[in-house]
Amino acid sequence: MKNLNHCFSIADLKKLAKKSLPGVMFDYIEGGAEDEITIGRNRQVFSEYEFVPRVLRDVSTIDLTTTIQGAKSQMPIMCAPTAMSRTFHYQGEKAVALAAEKAGIPYSLSTVATTSIEDVAKISKGTKFFQIYAWRNADMVKNFILRCQQNHYQGVMLAVDLPTLGNRERDLKNGHGHARQHRLNILKGALRHPKWFYRFLTSPPLVLANMVEFLPYGGDAAKAMDTVNQQFDASVNWEDAAEIKKMWGGPFMLKGIQSVADAKLAVEMGASGIILSNHGGRQLDGAPPAFSLLADVKAEVGDALEIYIDGGIRRGSDVIKAIALGATACLIGRPYLYGLVAGGEAGVSRALEIFRTEMERVMKLIGCDSISKLSPEYVAKL
């Protein structure tokens, strides 16, 4: 795999990304909790369904457009929130937000981003959501909400699957939580990746840009990480979530719903969307893949809120299967990160283009000209 022009699939982008980044960081992107069984299941479940193609229908034009939380989207995909993007490529979150805007899809900024709410808003006029962790420090949550309002973010997603950090053993082995060891391991990898290292050394220092004023060391990403990890609040409950929703007052999604029962509670609390997600297999090993929950959740909640799924989506066909079973859209995490690592904004655009062309092709091949017409009749469980 020489460059982006030779990447025809997300798997190709992943190969290129792996070559471009120190192993410690690639592991951080790629790794999951414990035995990584959930990561494997996240992929496997898509192959447990096949299509029921229809023929002799006019599929000369395909309409992939949809509406996500009231905002028009050119395809049923959004970029999931991911931490620390400038670590992986100097263009970081801005590159992802710009590529998403150009593709006409929403971008979600993470609480633990290395670019601030304000800086992303300055460069992107596209649809933007902000992902919030419910921290111990309630002032910080209020501060996020106020800044999202001031900067015209269209929605907030509260991540509810992190009462504590998942047990990611690749990261532990690479020295996470032991600043000196971690730095040494990064340095070893950096020497083998001089292009990445040069950009790293010549770019502004990495800070947890949304929390600078709340953290020690001016938000320095390496030094403040322990403080951040202590902020995850295991006592958060449904009333707290409702409080955050009220404070925000706009489109509000819960990210990390993993059961039909909680999907029902999300409807009761008045959420406008749920993201069925196991955090890309990074939290609870043994958690269910979102795709395998989708049909039951749809049957229970109907159209009371929008349902999104993420985890293991690597092909346009995965997205089409999810829409057929009732999802409004899918979030992608690692696929755009592979693109970012491999080629900055152009790499993210390449990832999104791969999804677009794959989805269009699949729609033609199954005989359906609009994603609004997809239904469970287009798929069959093996």
- 289 touches ligand FMN (CB under 6 A): no
Closest residue by Cα to residue 63 from 53, 74, 72: 74
- The residue among 32 and 343 lying less far from ligand FMN, judged by its C-beta, is 32
Closest CA to 309 of 286, 334, 277, 278: 277
Which position among 106, 251, 280, 289 is part of the footprint of ligand FMN (CB under 6 A)? 280
The window from 164-172, 201-209, 332-340, 344-352 that contacts ligand FMN (CB under 6 A) reads 332-340
Q: 332 or 368: whose CB is closer to ligand FMN? A: 332
Query: Rounded to a whole number, what is the distance in angstroms from the first to the last CA of the chain?
Result: 34
Q: For residues 133 and 378, which CB has a smaller minimum distance to ligand FMN in the complex? A: 133
State which residue has the least CB distance to ligand FMN.
333
Pick between residue 81 and residue 126 the one whose CB is nearest to ligand FMN: 81
Exposed, middle or buried: residue 5 (CB in 10 Å: 0-12, 13-18, 19+)?
Answer: exposed
Contact pick of 14, 193, 255, 315 for ligand FMN (by CB under 6 A) = 255
- Among 70, 20, 75, residue whose Cα is nearest residue 313: 75
Q: Is 258 in the site for ligand FMN (CB under 6 A)?
A: no
Kindly state the smallest distance separating residue 161's Cβ from ligand FMN, in Å.
Answer: 8
| 292 is a site residue for ligand FMN (CB under 6 A) | no
Residue 372 exposed, middle or buried by CB count within 10 Å (0-12, 13-18, 19+): middle
C-beta atoms surrounding 299 within 10 Å: 10
Contact between residue 78 and residue 106 where contact means Cβ atoms under 8 Å apart: yes
Query: Applying CB under 6 A, which of residues 112, 207, 236, 307 lies at the interface with ligand FMN?
Result: 112
Site pattern 117..146 for ligand FMN (x: CB under 6 A): --------------x---------------
- Contact between 332 and ligand FMN by CB under 6 A: the answer reads yes
Segment interacting with ligand FMN (CB under 6 A) among 52-60, 75-83, 94-102, 196-204: 75-83
Least separation, in Å, of the C-beta of 200 and ligand FMN? 17
How would you classify residue 55: left for phi > 0, otherwise alpha for psi between -120 and 50, otherwise beta? beta
Look up 193 and say whether it is catalytic: no
List alpha helices for the chain, DSSP H: 10-20, 23-30, 37-47, 85-88, 92-103, 117-123, 138-150, 169-173, 179-191, 194-202, 221-231, 238-248, 260-269, 290-301, 316-324, 334-366
Task: State the sign of the Cα–Cα–Cα–Cα dihedral 326, 329, 330, 331.
Answer: negative
Q: Is residue 316 classed exposed, middle or buried when 0-12, 13-18 and 19+ CB atoms within 10 A define those classes?
A: buried
Among positions 294-313, residues that touch ligand FMN (CB under 6 A) are 310-313
Of the pair 83, 346, the CB lying nearest ligand FMN is at 83
335, 13 in Cβ contact below 8 A?
A: yes
Segment interacting with ligand FMN (CB under 6 A) among 77-85, 147-155, 189-197, 349-357 = 77-85
Among 106, 126, 333, 344, binds ligand FMN (CB under 6 A): 333
**Under the criterion CB under 6 A, does residue 82 sit at the interface with ligand FMN?**
yes
In three-state secondary structure terms, 148 is helix
Write the CA distances from 203 to 88, 97, 188, 352, integer angstroms.
12, 19, 19, 26
CB of 135 to ligand FMN, least distance (A): 13
What is the three-state SS of 37-84?
A: HHHHHHHHHHHCEEECCCCCCCCCCCECCEEECCEEECCCEEECCCCC
**Nearer to ligand FMN by C-beta: 124 or 277?**
277
Query: Degrees (nearest 5) of the Cα angle 205, 206, 210?
Result: 125
Q: Does 159 bind ligand FMN (CB under 6 A)?
A: yes
Q: Is 379 in the site for ligand FMN (CB under 6 A)?
A: no
Considering the complex, state which of residue 66 and residue 87 has its C-beta at the smaller distance from ligand FMN: 87
106 contributes a contact to ligand FMN by CB under 6 A? no
Using CB under 6 A as the binding criterion, the count of chain residues that bind ligand FMN stands at 24
Q: Which is nearer to ligand FMN, 171 or 345 (CB)?
A: 171
- Positions touching ligand FMN (CB under 6 A) are 28-29, 42, 80-83, 110, 112, 131, 159, 255, 277, 279-280, 282, 310-313, 331-334
Return the active site residues. 279
